[in-house]
């Protein structure tokens, strides 16, 4: 382990919060909130995702000695064990995040997502007094949802069932893993829940829908709201797979951080349970609706083309967040238009479209949601 990381773990009376994938979009936003509260944070990240170095630099410049970046990987069992043993809480975000990538290299997807998660769990299991763990899973654990009857209108799909349209998909939905990514994240999801049951870990799972906001470097494989905005700012074409009427509930990252900190502060009530986490029925968006919103923000419609639907794509997924709301009273505060405006402004102010242009080389017009 680098000396500065070891010093961070051993200095002072306050144990740091450990965030795996901590230089990423969600990790850096969570770190900023914790650091702003006076806490110490250790970021474990291999910096494999384009652009995340700037997130680590941003945190370091503002908070200096209270944040430490450990460049490493959750597949490193020894490193993970040492970092976990020095932590007050663990947020496990590090992952291979794209369905498309998992189809190209399923073994890598398995190693990063499942083996990496098992390393974190094993480090916790062998401790006398393990810290709480929050793991980020995905809506992909529910499969394609092809059995849900849908009604199609001019811009989007919505459920034929009025009650489902009002509430969204709840945690009682049967698991149905599609794609290697769905399998690796779904299996990790189940390992976390079982380690809570079998070994008494204070661990919970957030099955997340579409999260968006500042510090997000959206690509063709992951982060579709940011990706669309970046493409539009760069004046580049966007390819839509399917008819563009696919619907997701989107959740602004600040609202997600609120939920995460509520769970971490009272983990005994959340341990061994999974929660669907998204914007809910009040914050839904189809691809076509996002294109319309971008046209309003930019004064012009982005160039688009359409291609065949991707295998396993969910035409409709909206989170039912009532289980988490019942425990905490939490509800999203940032609506769709305000959140998209905030992200659009951050991307523009920070010149993300220009900085990421050389990085968009493989299937640069593709997008998966």
- pLDDT tens track of the chain, all 369 residues? 434 444 444 444 589 999 999 999 999 999 999 999 999 999 999 999 888 999 999 999 999 999 999 999 999 999 999 999 999 999 999 999 888 889 899 999 999 999 999 999 999 999 999 999 999 999 999 999 999 999 999 999 999 999 999 999 999 999 999 889 999 999 999 999 999 999 999 999 999 999 999 999 877 677 899 999 999 999 999 989 899 999 999 999 999 999 999 999 999 999 999 999 999 999 999 999 999 999 999 999 999 998 888 766 899 999 999 999 999 999 999 999 999 999 999 999 998 877 655 444 333 333 345
Instruction: Answer whether 291's CB lies under 8 Å from 225's CB.
Output: no
Q: How many CB atoms lie within 10 A of CB 266?
A: 14
Q: What's CA 80's distance to the chain center, in Å?
A: 21
Q: Residue 119 has which token pair?
A: 């390393």
In the prediction, which pLDDT does 352 show? 86
* DSSP letter assigned to residue 113: I
In the prediction, which pLDDT does 222 show? 78
Q: Residue 54 has which token pair?
A: 């700037």
In the prediction, which pLDDT does 307 show? 87
Q: Residue 367 has which token pair?
A: 């997008």
In the three-class reduction of DSSP (H, G, I as helix; E, B as strand; rest coil), residue 248 is classed as strand
Q: 145 to each of 199, 245, 358, how far by Cα in Å?
A: 32, 15, 36
Distance CA 176, CA 144 (A): 8
Instruction: Answer whether 268's CB lies under 8 Å from 165's CB.
Output: no
In the three-class reduction of DSSP (H, G, I as helix; E, B as strand; rest coil), residue 102 is classed as helix
In the prediction, which pLDDT does 363 show? 36
Find the catalytic residue in 142, 157, 181, 191. Answer: 181
Write out the H or E segment, with its range, that includes residue 98: none
The residue among 72, 94, 83 whose CA lies nearest residue 25 is 94
Q: 291 to each of 33, 227, 229, 288, 321, how far by Cα in Å?
A: 31, 12, 9, 5, 26
* DSSP letter assigned to residue 189: H
Distance CA 165, CA 156 (A): 13
User: Is position 181 annotated as part of the catalytic site?
Assistant: yes
Q: Where are the domains of the chain?
A: 95-359
CATH class assigned to 95-359: alpha beta
Distance CA 339, CA 345 (A): 10
The residue among 275, 332, 305 whose CA lies nearest residue 136 is 275
Instruction: Answer whether 316's CB lies under 8 Å from 159's CB.
Output: yes
In the prediction, which pLDDT does 98 show? 84
Q: What's CA 264's distance to the chain center, in Å?
A: 17
Query: HEC states along 202-226?
Result: CEEEEEECEEECCCCCCCCCCCHHH
Q: Residue 346 has which token pair?
A: 């951050």
* Residue showing tokens 């809506």: 139
CA atoms within 13 A on the CB side of 351: 3
In the prediction, which pLDDT does 360 show? 43
Q: How many CB atoms lie within 10 A of CB 236?
A: 15
| Entry pTM | 0.92
In the prediction, which pLDDT does 97 show? 86
């Amino acid at each position: 382990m680098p000396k500065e990381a070891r010093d961070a773990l051993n200095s002072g009376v306050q144990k740091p919060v450990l965030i795996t994938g901590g230089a990423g979009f969600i990790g850096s936003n969570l770190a900023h909130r914790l650091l702003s509260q006076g806490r110490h944070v250790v970021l474990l990240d291999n910096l494999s995702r384009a652009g995340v170095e700037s997130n680590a630099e941003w945190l370091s410049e503002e908070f200096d000695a209270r944040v430490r970046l450990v460049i490493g990987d959750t597949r490193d069992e020894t490193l993970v064990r040492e970092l976990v043993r020095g932590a007050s809480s663990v947020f496990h975000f590090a992952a291979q995040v794209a369905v498309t990538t998992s189809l190209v290299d399923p073994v890598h997807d398995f190693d990063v997502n499942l083996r990496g998660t098992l390393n974190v769990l094993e480090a916790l299991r062998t401790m006398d007094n393990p810290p709480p763990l929050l793991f980020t899973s995905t809506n992909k654990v529910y499969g394609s949802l092809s059995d849900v009857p849908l009604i199609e209108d001019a811009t989007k799909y919505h459920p034929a069932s009025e009650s489902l349209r009002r509430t969204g998909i709840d945690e009682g939905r049967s698991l149905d893993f599609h794609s290697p990514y769905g399998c690796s994240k779904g299996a990790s999801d189940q390992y976390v829940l079982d380690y809570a049951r079998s070994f008494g870990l204070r661990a919970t799972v957030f099955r997340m829908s579409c999260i968006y906001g500042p510090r997000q470097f959206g690509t063709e494989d992951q982060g579709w709201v940011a990706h669309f905005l970046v493409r539009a700012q760069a004046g580049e074409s966007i390819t839509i797979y399917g008819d563009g009427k696919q619907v997701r509930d989107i959740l602004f990252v600040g609202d997600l951080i609120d939920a995460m900190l509520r769970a971490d502060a009272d983990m005994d009530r959340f341990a061994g349970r999974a929660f669907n986490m998204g914007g809910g029925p009040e914050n839904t968006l189809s691809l076509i609706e996002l294109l319309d919103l971008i046209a309003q923000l930019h004064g012009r419609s982005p160039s688009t083309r359409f291609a065949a639907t991707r295998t396993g794509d969910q035409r409709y997924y909206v989170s039912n967040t009532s289980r988490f709301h019942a425990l905490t009273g939490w509800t999203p505060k940032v609506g769709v238009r305000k959140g998209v405006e905030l992200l659009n402004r951050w991307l523009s102010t920070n010149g993300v479209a220009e900085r990421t242009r050389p990085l968009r080389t493989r299937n640069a017009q593709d997008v998966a949601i």
